[in-house]
Amino acid sequence: MSTSTPTRTLRVLIAKPGLDGHDRGAKVMARGLRDAGFEVIYTGLFQTPEMIASAALQEDVDVVGLSILSGAHMALFPRIMEALRAAGLGDVLVVAGGTIPEADQAAVREMGIAAVFGPGSTFADVAEFLRTHAPSRAA
């Protein structure tokens, strides 16, 4: 069986890497996903790649959501992906939200970020994407 059990509650780490101090968007997304039935682990501002990787590991999440407004995504995302891989978490679904210019989106996907959710995305869009793309788990 390669599909995940429908009853399994998906766990999502929402992380706010970088140095900008605005986490309103991240918190709104956390609550939206809670209301869509996800368990969201929210870790607060100023996360380093290593913090994100160790939290994702210990919490055994299915998804890591990176919220970013600072424009530092091109520098930060590769370091985060590397930290996740180093922690043995290459199979975790990674998505991003926030403001990422159109011009960078292809490069961001190339880094292994499965989707970028801009300001126009609804919770339903995000929830649907995560349910469809979260890695399946053998028992």
Partner 1 sequence: MADLIAQLDEGNPRALPRLLSLVERRDPAGMAALAALYPRTGKAAVVGITGAPGAGKSTLVNALAHAARAAEMRVAILAIDPSSPVSGGAVLGDRIRMMDLHADPGVFIRSVASKGRTGGLAPAAAAMVHCLDAAGYPLILLETVGAGQDSIDIDVLARTVIVVQAPGFGDGVQAIKAGILEIGDILVVNKADLPGARELARTLRGSLDHPEPGEWEVPVLLTDAASGEGVPAVLDAVLQHGRWLAQSGEIAQRLRVAASAEVLDGVRNELQRRLNAATAGSLDQVISDVAARRTPPEDAVNAILASLPGLGGAASDQRGG
Which residue in the block uniquely carries the two structure tokens 């801009």? 118
- Is 58 a binder of partner 1 (CB under 8 A)? yes
CB of 134 to partner 1, least distance (A): 13
Binding residue (CB under 8 A) for partner 1 from 51, 107, 111, 114: 51
- 97-136 in b/e form (b: 16+ CB < 10 A) is bbebeeeeeeebeeebbebbbeeeeebeebbebbbeebee
Q: Of the ranges 7-15, 72-80, 92-100, 105-113, which one interacts with partner 1 (CB under 8 A)?
A: 7-15
User: CB of residue 74 vs partner 1: minimum separation in angstroms?
Assistant: 24
Task: Tell me: does residue 22 bind partner 1 (CB under 8 A).
Answer: no
What is the distance between the alpha carbons of residues 95 and 25, in angstroms, rounded to a whole number?
14
Nearest by Cα to 97 from 114, 79, 75, 78: 114
Q: Which of residues 60-89 bind partner 1 (CB under 8 A)?
A: 60, 87-88
The binding site for partner 1 (CB under 8 A) comprises: 8-9, 11, 30-31, 33-44, 47, 50-51, 54-55, 57-60, 87-88, 139
